[in-house]
A = this chain, B = another copy of it.
Amino acid sequence: MRGAMIYAPGDVRFETVDDAKILHPTDAVIRTAVTCVCGSDLWPYRGAEPIGDPHPMGHEYVGFVERVGSEVTSLRPGQFVVGSFATSDDTCANCQNGFQSSCLHREFMSTCQAEYVRIPNAEGTLVATDGVPDETFWPGLLAVSDVMGTGWWAAEAAEVKPGSTAVVVGDGAVGLCGVIAAKEMGAERIIAMSRHEPRQKLAREFGATDIVTERGDEGVARIKEMTAGIGADSVLECVGTSEAMRQALQSARPGGNVGFVGVPHEVAIDGQELFFSHVGLRGGPAPVRRYLPDLIGRVLSGRIEPGRVFDLTLPLEQVAEGYRAMDERRAIKALLKP
């Protein structure tokens, strides 16, 4: 089969790779329907994370069950399935607590920009849809497998409540999905921080009521001005840099909450600053598995359209161009079709 491999910063190749196989009786192999490039894939692509030996890439997927291991009884070949970037058995104590992305048997998916994908703990990880959804829904369901689930988690971790004010730091696909989530959770005012006109437009269409273009201290000052001087109830930090984290923490009001979902890169939080801010802080890899049934329903009913974050569609074999387009910010997010 063929799939994407990263060799070095800026060097992603589509080539023949090891076939996806059943390695454990709890595995499934799926035939990829659509996959995509994630903002977090850009960290190694930009040289901001070590790459080591050449390795496969990709952790977002929807597809058709191709075959299952001997212990998999609730899935059958031909079913259309949505998963998460983190596998889960859905039975351990952390899964039972709703934190499937901290499953005691978690593996992070990393081979999904390929024609076929092995899914560990398939029964716990995958959710099958009722029949095969119309192809127009595939991008939305693909978004649910990561960016929409992550935006939802950002809003949940930031404790967005009906009638509240939410700020979204980051206008990538996750930030834009965070806007959708804040809207669905009933935020009355949703302030998207963005400097890019096409992303501002999409943010507004997803439910943002205000756009703030300032960053850093100026961005914080602007948020304070808009929130009676005290800051927002909820801030969704969807970037993962020190600057974004500082901006998020300072934009939240005392008693407010920051949900942070960008994997932090060299971010240190000063204990005393956090203390006197009175801000609650929670982050981590999104427990997407918990949200799947609900979010799949919202997509298939047409209530939310997170698939709109894909503004570039390419054949899977042009995966390298997908990376380039996102790196150069020519695309928000690139969809790949095998």
A binding-site residues for B, Cβ under 8 Å: 93-94, 97-99, 101-102, 104, 157, 228-230, 242, 245, 253-255, 260, 263-272, 274-285
Contact = CB atoms under 8 A, between A and B. Distances in A.
Contacts of A266: 271
Contacts of A281: 274, 280-282
Contacts of A93: 228-230, 253
Contact of A279 (B230, B268, B282): B282
B268 A263 contact: no
A276, A282, A285 pick with most chain B CB within 10 angstroms:
A282
Contact of A260 (B157, B229, B275): B275
Nearest to A261: B275
Nearest to A259: B280
Contacts of A279: 282
Contact of A271 (B267, B278, B282): B267
A253 B284 contact: no
B254 A99 contact: yes
B255 A94 contact: yes
Contacts of A94: 230, 253-255
A156 to B, nearest CB: 11
